[in-house]
Structure 1
Amino acid sequence: MPRFLAHGKKMDDLPPLTRIQTRNRSAIMSGGLDAFSTAGFKGATLDQIADAAGLSKPNLLYYFPSKEAIYAALLEELLKTWLDPLRTLDPNGNPIEEILAYAHRKLAMSRDFPRESRLFANEILAGAPQIHAVLAGPLRTLVDEKAQIMRGWMDAGLIRKSDPHHLIFSIWALTQHYADFDVQVRAVLGDVDPFSGADTFVDHLYRTLLQPPDQDHL
């Protein structure tokens, strides 16, 4: 996803941004993240983003020529880090601890980056028009690679056998729920921090699920 300014030049072809330009661009990205994660792509407007960024609409358009450009830039930055938790799963590590560490990293992302999680969810619910190629390409390749590692651990009797793809899907569904359905979770729990017990529950759930059958009695 190449990044463009209003005059048509790619951002990567331009000199480094000044301190003020960096601050304004960061404000626009944060305002866009607020707008898109709340209202979705169709519901968000440039006026909303400009207001959230504390900039005039013409000033915003100096940095990004359209709403689409802001959205594309946000997704580009998101995808740089969204796949990292799975990439770091070590085939030479302890299988149960590696999978648990992955689940905890995903849960931490829901805690620390809830707006980014909802932006990603909204994009998926819309049919992934901007990132479908990434989902069907790099993401699928990465998931297949890690699923093969998990399958090898299962065949070696190091973890209980299951479908590794669905194991990964279940981790996504469980951990991202805390960000994507934050309002529902907090409404049910009241004043309790949902993440204070989530780490313990996730650890217990997947440790129990992954324990090899011959170790159930231990």
Structure 2
Amino acid sequence: MTHQQTSLFATGAPALGSLDRARRTALGHGAWIDVLPGWLSGADDLFAELADRVPWREERRAMYDNVVAVPRLLAHYGAGEELPDPVLTEARDRLSGHYAAELGEPFVSAGLCFYRDGRDSVAWHGDRFGRGATHDTMVAILSLGEPRPLLLRPRGGGAPATRVPLGHGDLIVMGGSCQRTWDHAIPKTRSAVGGRISVQFRPRGVA
């Protein structure tokens, strides 16, 4: 069992900060990311609540000649479904308002991934099912629990990966052409790390 460490500002009642502090980085090819460390205070307490209360499911997928377990637990809340904590509804609404001029539509769904320890991961991919394959869009990710690095690289590789550590209430928003021209991943690690939950807010038709 791994030890779940906490951040000084990540305990207590969850509360959102200002999105005006987000720092934008242009990645190239029309892609960009906004990063805002510690957007949600009280994130570790929210992590513990979601880890216990969300109806997590384990998926299995075909890989070559085998069926293997997806190395993380999943949950999904579609448009109109109640999110598992009111602060997540507030986060979705705040993101929708802040990015309204650029995105032109609200964030409507929330996908949750539970990385239980360093053995859980997600391979290189972009959210290219649906409109993300052909249109500029945004995916906002709120990270709870232990930090894990999110890696980004141009689609197809060929360049060093950009590394963004995310945890304890950090926010990253991937925008512009990011989903179709860049890939991202959470790699496995042999380090003793605790759990992390990512909450991915998406607009309609992006998955």
Q: TM-score, normalised by structure 2?
A: 0.29
Greater strand fraction, Structure 1 or Structure 2: 2
For normalisation by structure 1, the TM-score amounts to 0.28
Q: Which has the higher contact order (CA 8 A, sep 6+)?
A: 2
The structure with the greater share of residues assigned to helix is: 1
Which protein shows a greater Rg?
1
